[in-house]
Structure 1
Amino acid sequence: MESTFVFVIIAVLATLGQAQFSPTLTVNSCTASTLQLTLDNAADGGIIYIQGQTSACKQTTSSASTVHEFDFASCGIAWASSFKMIVQKNALYQTGDDKQIPIMCIMDLTDLTVANNVNALDKDDDVGQNLTVKPTASMKLYRSGIDVAGSSVQLTDTLTMSIELDAEFQADFDIVAKDCTASTISIVNSACAADTDLFPDFTKPAPGYLSNSFGAFRTTDLNGGSVAMTFSCTLTVCQGSCAATTCPSGNGYGRKKRGISKRQANPAPAIDDISVGTTVTIAAEEVILQTPDDDTDVCMNRTGFIAGLILLIIALIIVLVTAVFMGRKYHEKKDALQKLNGGMTSVAMG
């Protein structure tokens, strides 16, 4: 009886030990290159890894809440495929207590379908976790290579618009600027520029990257001053290279500068739309006109100059008249002296 009682106690303790190991795994993010998850209630000195991969995908666990990141390239995991994440209580050996959690990352694209084979896994200790991810992009405005989004530029400036998929999506996806507006002005319709004189068609330096240079413009404001312009675009996302749109001036999304890549040779259909935008304030250069006071000063200066010139001429005339008068007086006195001297000489001779 005593040995049986001891055996029962050991069995109960073993059962309690098994119940205590119940780690919880939560997927935080899953991009085309990286998986990030939070692990709670695991064992100190245990391990977590992706089944069937190398030691590059193995990390040590802790009983505290910890964040783990796994690089898909290092682990050899194809994105949008299912795999097993193993949480092992002891790093040296496996037991039935170890947890196996199926995981799959799914792109949030309406026409993109991925087979979910988590049911084929032989041991699912947790409900399979499927994380949905939507591609993201950004729009920026540059003046002379400087980002001016959110700041002020002049109406005479040349701006460059850059639209780019975020880095984790560039390897697998492409974009087309489907429709764009500048506040209330339509600048792109159905992937073609609405007015190429105002806003030319986009060029495409690389997959997932659109660029365009244009002269700054704004909606009409009768009061002058500055006008805030909001530029926004609806982008069509493709898995692979997007198909070109024929426009009067060329391809709507723009042509690759150096030849056509293999990805462009077989364009993929559009599968979803996303939006991007930014704002810039556009100011008109003010032309400064002379005020009435300034005109009065100019007139006064001209009047003074003319009056001074007249006085100078009058002074010169007075000097000339005086010189002529004095010259005549001098000659008259000289003639009188000569006559007087001539009369005195005649008396002396008589």
Structure 2
Amino acid sequence: MSESNAIANGLAGAGGGIIAQIITYPLQTVNTRQQTERTLKRNKQSLPSNSTTAPGTLLQIFQVIGTEGWGGLYSGLKPSLLGTAASQGIYYYFYQVFKNKAVAIAAARMVKGRGDGTVGMFGWLVVAAIAGSLNVLFTNPIWVLVTRMQTHTQAQRKIMDEKKEALRRAASESTIADSTLQDKLSELDSIKPRPYGTIHAANEVYNEAGIVGFWKGVIPALIMVCNPSIQFMIYESSLKHLRAKRAAKKQGNTSISALEVFLVGAIAKLGATVSTYPLLVVKSRLQAKQEIGGSSSYRYSGTFDAVLKMIRYEGLPGFYKGMSTKIVQSVFAASVLFMVKEELVKAFMVVADKSKKVVSNISS
């Protein structure tokens, strides 16, 4: 029964994750671009000329639609859906497996006179951390490709800006004529960056860093398992509190409604997102194309180098770029995911029970 329960949660998690991903993907694309946009401190003398203030989320969405079409907002959707299905499926499967073990351990402890038979907050934290770590190791290559595809046009635009700046410098030094400058600038303006495919992104990652490149950002991603750990600690504890409260009032039905699951999921994800957002920014920076701009401040050799350069060139605000967008996207996505997942699990268990009754009737 516990094995089928784990499978049900794995399949339900994958289904809920896919639905939530499709609904919120445009916000995710814009948020990734916000995270990887470099805006250096204004008090630095070495500010590059292309340092600009990023537009707001809604304006950025309209800009992407205007320059790249609707496809720009959904760049990387296919591998993202694959990653979501794999990530949620793997996560929820292992989460349920280790949750069952934790519940069994708690019950055994109660028999021995230790504890009340329920899993505490620390137990949920450990269960979520183990499941999250396994998920990260298995699915990191997919998210590297998704990040590349979401930020490809942004990177191409930065490269074009660098070429334009080089042409203007050459014109100011009288190495090229003004007419030639205008022709070349017009030629660059006519090149519209477009999203590229999964194979192209994979080849780019492999050519830059080999197989190891597909695990870029894995260190902050592993540290970020505390995000779902915090999320599920809040989620499970809140549900436990609700059930206990209803049981104390001796209500006939102690089950949790879909709306309550939605709200509890939103609160849980909000707390987890705010506390771990800087790690998400570092991970996105490492997974995006590094050759954005000519300044060394734009390129990172690893997690520690990224953190130091972000502190030095951008300050603490750099670690919270696009957080408001992420809060809206992740909280809404998590709420939809939890609600859909719980309903799918219920449906799966109903079908499983009916199947058992049919088999039992046939056998008898």
Task: Report TM bin, short chain.
Answer: under 0.3
Bigger Rg, structure 1 or 2: 1
Taking structure 1 as the reference length, the TM-score comes to 0.21
Taking structure 2 as the reference length, the TM-score comes to 0.21
Compare the two structures and name the one with the higher strand fraction: 1
